[in-house]
């Protein structure tokens, strides 16, 4: 579904060059949930923006569904670290915005937006303005806005990082349900090893800048997953511990690729 073939990205300015990514080879299967983790500055967000069509690679190519990415596409939704809601629009109006920008809001779209909001725990808040909501509620609105067009690809750039721990876990649980029901092909950038283990089918670990794929690890744990007391708690804890050790290791100690389940 998503393929990055020898992808590199260099940022150039008057002060010099910064090589953010180098020789990224990565495939994300249709309906797969891939988490991307790595140290700060390793190019995780740059990778996401390349897939979204907001940046162009300086080497290699990015394709989605076999078509090269040449710019933003309606079947690719991007959710940022901050909800970026328009403060003068209602919750419902913010969710419908992508459709309005394409000039095609119909009654069934409004019904879908309302259903998404209700499923996200926002029944009764459709007419509220963003400043009347908590941070977690605002991110739920942003998730509904990303899903309103039924995207085949969902890109998420640390969407829960500004939230408290309990709210993050609640939203991670909701995202699990969304993925199990809708099956969008998802790339989820995070600094949180716990989030990666809770959500992903596989975790791609990037090296320090320039970012390269150092290891891809399969997380073979039945869903739904949680940190609460359940049959898979030991497995979740073991994966978190292994990924923590992996990120603490030096880049030189990491093998180029390891796809075995852990």
CA-to-CA distance for 120 and 227, rounded, in angstroms?
Answer: 21
Give the model's pLDDT for residue 254. Answer: 44
- Pair 44, 189: CB distance under 8 Å: yes
pLDDT at 166 over 50: yes
- Pair 126, 96: CB distance under 8 Å: no
Tokens 């949180």 belong to 192
pLDDT at 184 over 70: yes
Per-residue pLDDT band at 141 (split at 50, 70, 90) = very high
pLDDT at 228 over 70: no
pLDDT in tens, 54-91: 999 999 999 999 899 989 888 999 998 888 899 999 99
Give the model's pLDDT for residue 27. Answer: 95
pLDDT in tens, 125-134: 999 999 999 9
pLDDT in tens, 101-121: 877 778 888 999 999 999 888
Tokens matching residue 49: 């923006």
3-state secondary structure 201-234: CEEEEECCCCECEEEEEECCCCCCCCCCCCCCHH
CA-to-CA distance for 36 and 48, rounded, in angstroms?
Answer: 9
Arithmetic mean of pLDDT, 144-171: 88
- Pair 208, 39: CB distance under 8 Å: yes
CA-to-CA distance for 211 and 177, rounded, in angstroms?
Answer: 31
Is 89 in a helix, a strand, or coil?
Answer: coil
Domain spans, the chain: 1-75+158-262, 85-150
pLDDT at 257 over 50: no
Give the model's pLDDT for residue 255. Answer: 46
Chain mean pLDDT for the chain = 87
The CATH topology of domain 1-75+158-262 is: Rossmann fold (3.40.50)
The stretches of 4-159 forming alpha helices (DSSP H) are 44-52, 91-101, 107-119, 135-147
For 100-114, b/e burial (b = at least 16 CB within 10 A) is eeeeebeeebeebbb
Per-residue pLDDT band at 170 (split at 50, 70, 90) = confident
Tokens matching residue 250: 């030096």
pLDDT at 256 over 80: no
Q: How many CB atoms lie within 10 A of CB 176?
A: 17
pTM for this structure?
A: 0.88
Give the model's pLDDT for residue 100. Answer: 86
Give the model's pLDDT for residue 20. Answer: 94
Distances (CA, A) of 76 to 149, 179, 193, 200: 9, 15, 25, 19
Task: Report which DSSP code applies to 191.
Answer: S
Nearest to 200 by CA among 9, 4, 32, 7: 32
């Amino acid at each position: 579904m998503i393929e990055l073939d020898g992808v590199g990205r260099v940022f150039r300015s008057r002060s010099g060059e910064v090589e953010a990514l180098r020789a990224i080879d990565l495939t994300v299967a249709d309906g797969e949930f891939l988490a991307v983790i790595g140290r700060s500055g390793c190019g995780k967000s740059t990778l996401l923006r390349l897939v979204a069509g907001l940046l162009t690679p300086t080497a290699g190519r990015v394709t989605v569904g076999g078509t090269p990415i040449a710019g933003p596409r309606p079947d690719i939704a991007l959710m940022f670290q901050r909800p970026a809601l328009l403060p003068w629009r209602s919750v419902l109006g913010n969710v419908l915005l992508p459709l309005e920008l394409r000039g095609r809001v119909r009654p069934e779209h409004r019904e879908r937006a309302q259903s998404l909001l209700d499923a996200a725990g926002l029944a009764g808040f459709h007419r509220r303005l963003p400043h009347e909501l908590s941070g977690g509620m605002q991110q739920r609105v942003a998730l509904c806005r990303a899903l309103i067009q039924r995207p085949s690809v969902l890109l998420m750039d640390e969407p829960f990082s500004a939230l408290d721990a309990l709210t993050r876990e609640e939203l991670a649980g909701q995202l699990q349900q969304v993925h199990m029901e809708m099956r969008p092909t998802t790339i989820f950038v995070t600094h949180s090893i716990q989030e990666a283990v809770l959500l992903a089918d596989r975790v791609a670990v990037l090296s320090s800048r320039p970012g390269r794929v150092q290891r891809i690890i399969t997380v073979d744990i039945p869903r739904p997953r949680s940190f609460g007391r359940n049959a898979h708690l030991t497995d979740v804890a073991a994966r978190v511990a292994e990924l923590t050790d992996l990120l603490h290791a030096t880049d030189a100690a990491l093998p180029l690729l390891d796809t075995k389940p852990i």
